[in-house]
Amino acid sequence: MTHMSRPAPTHDGEFEFWRNNAHISLQPVAAPSILGLFGFAGATFVVAANLAGWYGDTVTTPKFLFPFAAFLGGLAQFLAGMWAYRARDGLATAMHGIWGAFWLSYGLLFLLIAVGVLVQPTPFVALGYWFAALAAITWSGAVAALAENLGLTAVLTALAAGATCFAVGQIADISAWRTIGAYLFVASAALAWYTATAMMLEGTYRRVILPIGKMRGPNMPGREPRQVIQFTAGEPGIKVGQ
């Protein structure tokens, strides 16, 4: 932005001066949550299907789960969280950052179990407390998402409920609660896939294809999304969020 002498501010002239005289250089980024939600959906579905008993066992399956969880759910999501920070999206930064870090930790944990460094305890109480902390954070995110769109709210609500149930199941060693938590994780993964797909289609077709219940901006199929470049108070030309 070019520096220039500015006249004394008047009643309505402060922002008008910048609107008329500022030179703006933007570095737009694609919506980071597309990558983050797809990474989350893939990792969560594969791991939750195992937790629900759809496939695998406790001996050999961790050897195949840890790289997928660590890189798709962990690395991809954590990168999405950092890019969301640049997009000025605090909600996406928090959720992708926290869950990305969790999946990296989960992958490392099961790598150590797979190679025999650690022995998985039964019940796995410590893992239950991992999910208890994640549940509290994710419930906060679900409340914040109500201001964004219903699709993301549904993803985080199912995820928070799943983390809560799984935490109870692990800490109290109640298999039914673990199973309920696993099914809620599968539901959250499906909702994340839908939401990410809707965001990607809107970005490529430049109009709404699949509605996700946006609180602000067009939400009906066929409608064009809100303008990419806009003036907002105090930040001329900068679009906050995704």
Write out pLDDT tens, residues 115-160.
889 888 888 999 999 999 999 999 999 999 999 899 999 999 999 9
What pLDDT does residue 38 have? 97
| 25 falls within a domain | no
What pLDDT does residue 79 have? 95
Domain range for 214: 32-236
**Residue ranges in the chain whose pLDDT is less than 50:** 1-7, 9, 11, 227-234, 236-238, 240
| 155 falls within a domain | yes
User: Cα–Cα distance between 100 and 215 in angstroms, integer?
Assistant: 26
Helix, strand, coil distribution of the chain in percent, nearest 5: 65, 0, 35
Q: Are 158 and 48 in contact (CB under 8 A)?
A: no
Q: What is the pLDDT of residues 21-32, one digit of tens each?
A: 766 555 667 789
Give the total number of structural domains in the chain: 1
Whether the CA torsion 194, 198, 203, 204 is positive or negative: it is: positive
| 184 falls within a domain | yes
| 3 falls within a domain | no
Helix (H, G, I), strand (E, B) or coil at 86: helix
